Amino acid sequence: MPDQSSSKLPIEHYVAPLEETKLEAIDSVKTEGKPSNLWIDAWADLRRRPMFWISSALILIIVFIALFPGLFTNEPPNANCLLANSNGAPVAGHPLGFTRQGCDVWSRIVHGAGTSLSVGIIVTILVFTLGVIFGAFAGYYGGWTDGILSRVGDIFFSIPYILAAVVIMTVLANYRSVWVISLAIGIFAWPATARVLRSEILRVKNSDFVTAATAIGVSRFKILWAHVVPNSIAPVIVIATISLAGAIVAEATLSFLGVGLPTNIMSWGNDIAQAQTTLRTAPQVLIYPSIALSLTVFSFIMLGEVVRDALDPKARAQR
């Protein structure tokens, strides 16, 4: 019987046979496969995802309808409205029936696509531009610049942008147009983008590659646009996609409230508002534009979702 001192016995010295544990060169370079960085990888990831193709296809179809409404309907949206057809059921040539005013529902939906998309795109460009300028300068230059820019952002952020747009559109009742409504939404919608970019920039600007560029002698302004912003922009692109959807909803909401676009401009929000009085008797008149609106919004939300998954390594790990 081994006694308690057994653990004190010399432990045998084991050496693995060399043929079983082959040594590799230290730190060997592997250059198989294609080059890869965030964008290349993101694109490779997107290409594999059916959700990306579905949402892109939906968006392309909507864009196509918006650009060439004449290809999808022969009915003008406003003319040829007969009160006799009020809330009428579908007949040949009018697949979705008629509105309360007796206008063709399908034609109004087709012609409304352009309005929604225009507002979405104009607002997104505005929000992206303002957000990037404010966020980039505030985050990168810090100090007083940041103090002032961030406070301005806080002030604009403190008024929910749809409420702000309600006030603007109420005051500008006589000047309502796609441009005015886009400005009214965009002018208060940018701070969220600026905040995200600012915090990304704060993260990136202390990276050693930024310091290395400074030590090389690259100017501060050039470092911002050549090194810092490209490495901070990914989340902003995700937000831009989603804010396009948000802008479409905002326009529809304002039109629904009666402070959006005038009735001579096709807008799904207007049509939904018009149809609400006859919700009990003719729900279909309200449902069809609602579906068009929700489907458009859904396409952009879905695209934003897959783009986020592809661009954000954290989100990718959470799938």
Partner 1 sequence: MLWYTGKRLLQIIPVLLGATFLIYFMVFSMPGDPIAALFGDRPPAPGVIEQLREQYHLNEPFIVQYFYYLAGIFQGDFGVTYSGQPVNEVLARTFPVTIRLALLAIFFEMIAGISVGLISGLRKGGIFDATGLGVSLVLISLPIFVLGFVAQYFMGIQWGWFSPTVGAGAPTQDLILPALVLATISFAQISRLTRSSVIETQGLDFVRTAYSKGLSGKRIVPVHILRNSLIPVVTYLGTDFGTLLVGATVTEGIFNVPGVGRTLYQAVIRGEGPTVVSFVTIMVLLYLIVNLLIDLLYAVLDPRIRYA
Partner 2 sequence: MSTPLLQVKDLEVAFRTQNGVVQAVRGVSFTLDRGSSLAIVGESGSGKSTTAHAIINLLPGTGHISGGQILLDGEDLAKASQNEMEHIRGRKIGFVPQDPMSNLNPVWSIGFQVEEAIRANGIATGRKEVKARAIQVLKEAGLQDADRRLKQYPHQFSGGMRQRVLIGMGLAANPQLLIADEPTSALDVTVQRVILDHLESLTRELGTTLLFITHDLGLAAERAEQLLVMYKGQVVEAGPSREILQNPQHPYTQRLVAAAPSLASRRIQATGSIAAAESAIAADAATAAGEAIDLIATAEARAEALEAAAAQPPAIVVENLTKVFKIRGSGDFKAVDDVSFQIRRGTTTALVGESGSGKSTVAKMLLKLEEATSGKIVVGGKDLASTSGKELFALRSRMQPVFQDPYGSLNPLRNIGNTIAEPLQTHKVGTKASRRERVFELLDQVSLPRTLLGRYPNELSGGQRQRIAIARALALKPEIVILDEAVSALDVLVQAQILRLLAELQAELNLTYLFITHDLAVVRVIADNVCVMQKGRIVEAATTDEVFGSPKEQYTRDLLAAIPGANIELGA
Do you know the residue count of the chain? 319
Pick from 129, 158, 177, 207 the residue near partner 2 by CB under 8 A. Answer: 207
Interface mask (CB under 8 A) for partner 2, residues 228-247, using x and -? Answer: --xx----------------
Stretch that binds partner 2, among 18-26, 107-115, 171-179, 182-190 (CB under 8 A): 18-26
Choose from partner 2, partner 1, none: what does 173 bind? Cβ within 5-8 Å by kind. partner 1
Residue 45's contacts (CB-CB under 8 Å, 6 or more residues apart) are 309, 310, 316
Residues 121-180 that bind partner 1 (CB under 8 A): 151-152, 154-156, 158-160, 162-164, 166-168, 170-174
Tell me if 31 contacts partner 2 by CB under 8 A.
yes
CB-based burial label for 181 (10 Å; 0-12, 13-18, 19+): buried
Tokens of 162: 């749809």
Provide the greatest CA pair distance for the chain: 108
**Residue span binding partner 1 (CB under 8 A) among the ranges 104-112, 118-126, 230-238, 299-307:** 299-307
Least distance from partner 1 to the Cβ atom of residue 174, Å: 7
Distance CA 161, CA 261 (A): 17
> Three-state SS for 81?
coil
Any residues with CB less than 8 A from the CB of 110 and at least 6 apart, and which? 65, 69, 72, 73, 77
Interface residues toward partner 1, by CB under 8 A: 151-152, 154-156, 158-160, 162-164, 166-168, 170-174, 192, 245, 249, 252-253, 256-259, 272, 276, 279-280, 283, 286-287, 290, 293-295, 297-298, 301-302, 305, 314-315, 318-319
